[in-house]
Every structure is written in C-alpha cells, then in structure tokens.
Amino acid sequence: MSDASWPKAVLFDLDGTLIDSLPDIHAALNETMASYGEPPFTLEAVAVMVGAGVQALIERAYAALGKSIDPASRDKVVARYLSIYGPRATELTTLNAGASDTLRILGEAGFQLGVVTNKPRAETDDILRHFGILERMALVVGGDAGPRKKPAPDLLLFAAQELGLEPADILFVGDSENDVDAAKGAGMKVVALRGGYTALGADTLGADLVVDRLDEIPGQLHSLTA
C-alpha cells in the first residue's frame, strides 16, 4: 500500500455521515408509532436507534417503550414506516457540512466513490439524486442488497467485490460503531465522523482517523497510508 496508489475507492455510510436525515426519520417514526397508539419519541432518543437498518429501528423503538414485538408484527410496522418515510425522505434532511466538496475533490482526484448503507436502496437513491450526488457514485449498496447489514462486514465485502477491488484498497467513512466494526471486519481502514448517530463518541470507536467535517478527509489521506 503506497501513497500514490491508496485508496482506490472511498465508500461512505449515508445516515449521519453524508446526510443529516435524523429529522425525517424522527418524524416518520413518530407518525408510524402514533398509528399504533404509541407515544412520540424525542429527536435525541431516535438518534441512538438509527444505524442498524429499519427492522432494528422498530425493534429499538418498542424496546424503548418497554415492549417486545414479534418478527411478523415488526415487519408490518416496518412496512408502515417505509410507506411514511419514503415520500418525505428529503423533506427535512440536509447534506452534512463539506459533503459535496469532499465528493467533488475525491472524484476529481480519480478515486472511485460509493455509498454502503443499511437503508433500503430505493430511498438511498432518491436521497442521493435529490442532492445531486448520485451521479458521482460508482456504486450504491443498500441494506436490502442481500448480505448481512452492518455491523457485519458483509455489505462492505460485497461492495469491494462489485468494484473488483481488494478490501485493503478501500477506505470507508462512517459515523457509528456499526460502521467502524463493519470496516474493520472487512479489512478496510475507516474514518469516523464526529457528531453522528451513535451513543458512543466517535473518538472511542477505534477508527483510523476521526474528523469533525468530511472535507478534512482529502487532506488527511496521506496520514492513513503509513
């Protein structure tokens, strides 16, 4: 691995990394839960439920209410949530600071770019298209691609295979323990963004680099090649 050749690709998590989608997730979850007679959650409470996919979001919501939910009932609530979230996925969502410039700089430098998220592919594409960054992506892998979701490494290994690259040639950028654990499990170096959707501080996750803004990454790539 040398400064001149590494990385060949930079892959990003979506929620909490490229975008601040929490306001729309929060609103959709509360509308979903209200339709089942459940009380609303605060924004802060939902922030720590996000990151492991929609099934986990619903399971964590019921757990926060002190209730269990069987898989069949959970899947019905998941479908209800997705029907509410999909049409409003970009209503309150914003790009995170430096996201657009980071993608432009890395793309112009010749790195392949992609997104690997536990969010379903359809919503992911809609969001990336809304912000005008879908065309920058060589690859988009959603949580419904087939492999196990993060924190398992499977989605990242699938992305590497699709790109025709070795995992060691890829840098992954995320905001949570799910992202760091998945990248490490896949054999990729990983950058953690502070301020994301995690109950743990980014500095405690064991990432190879921790940044406050995405646009710090292009200037820090050399520090990761040692």
Kindly state the average pLDDT of the residues 99-113.
96
Is residue 68 assigned to a domain?
Answer: yes
pTM for the whole thing? 0.90
Show the domain range for 52: 22-88
pLDDT at 4 (0 to 100): 57
pLDDT digits (tens, 9 = 90+) for 8-64: 999 999 999 999 999 999 999 999 999 999 999 999 999 889 877 789 999 999 999
Same domain, 40 and 110: no
Domain boundary among the residues 61, 88, 115 is at 88
Q: Is the pLDDT of residue 71 over 70?
A: yes
Question: Which residues have a catalytic role annotated?
Answer: 13
Domain count, the chain: 2
CATH number at residue 198: 3.40.50.1000
Same domain, 76 and 177: no
Is residue 104 assigned to a domain?
Answer: yes
Q: Is the pLDDT of residue 215 over 90?
A: yes
Same domain, 46 and 101: no
pLDDT at 225 (0 to 100): 79
Is residue 36 assigned to a domain?
Answer: yes
Residue 146 φ/ψ region, left for φ over 0, alpha for ψ in the -120 to 50 degree band, beta for the rest? left
Domain boundary among the residues 67, 88, 109 is at 88
Same domain, 206 and 108: yes
Same domain, 175 and 204: yes
Same domain, 83 and 148: no
- Per-residue CA distances from 181 to 132, 187, 218 (Å): 29, 10, 22
Same domain, 46 and 133: no
Same domain, 102 and 189: yes
Round to the nearest angstrom and report the end-to-end CA distance of the chain.
8
Is residue 37 assigned to a domain?
Answer: yes
- Torsion sign (Cα): 130, 131, 132, 133: negative
Same domain, 78 and 100: no
Is residue 4 assigned to a domain?
Answer: no
Same domain, 46 and 116: no
More confident residue, 202 or 216: 216
Same domain, 63 and 107: no
Crossing angle for the helix pair 54-64 and 71-85, nearest 10 degrees?
110
- On whether the CB atoms of residues 197 and 176 are closer than 8 A, the answer is yes
DSSP string for the chain: --TTT--SEEEE-TBTTTEE-HHHHHHHHHHHHHHTTPPP--HHHHHTT-SS-HHHHHHHHHHHTT----HHHHHHHHHHHHHHHGGGTTTS-EEPTTHHHHHHHHHHTT-EEEEE-SS-HHHHHHHHHHTT-GGG-SEEE-TTSSSPPTTSSHHHHHHHHHHT--GGGEEEEESSHHHHHHHHHHT-EEEEETTSS-SS-GGGS--SEEESSGGGHHHHGGGG--
Q: Is the pLDDT of residue 201 over 90?
A: no
Kindly state the average pLDDT of the residues 89-99.
94
Is residue 71 assigned to a domain?
Answer: yes
Query: Do the strands 9-12 and 19-20 form a parallel or antiparallel pair, or are they unpaired?
Result: unpaired
- What percent of the chain shows pLDDT beyond 90? 84
- On whether the CB atoms of residues 179 and 116 are closer than 8 A, the answer is no
Same domain, 27 and 78: yes
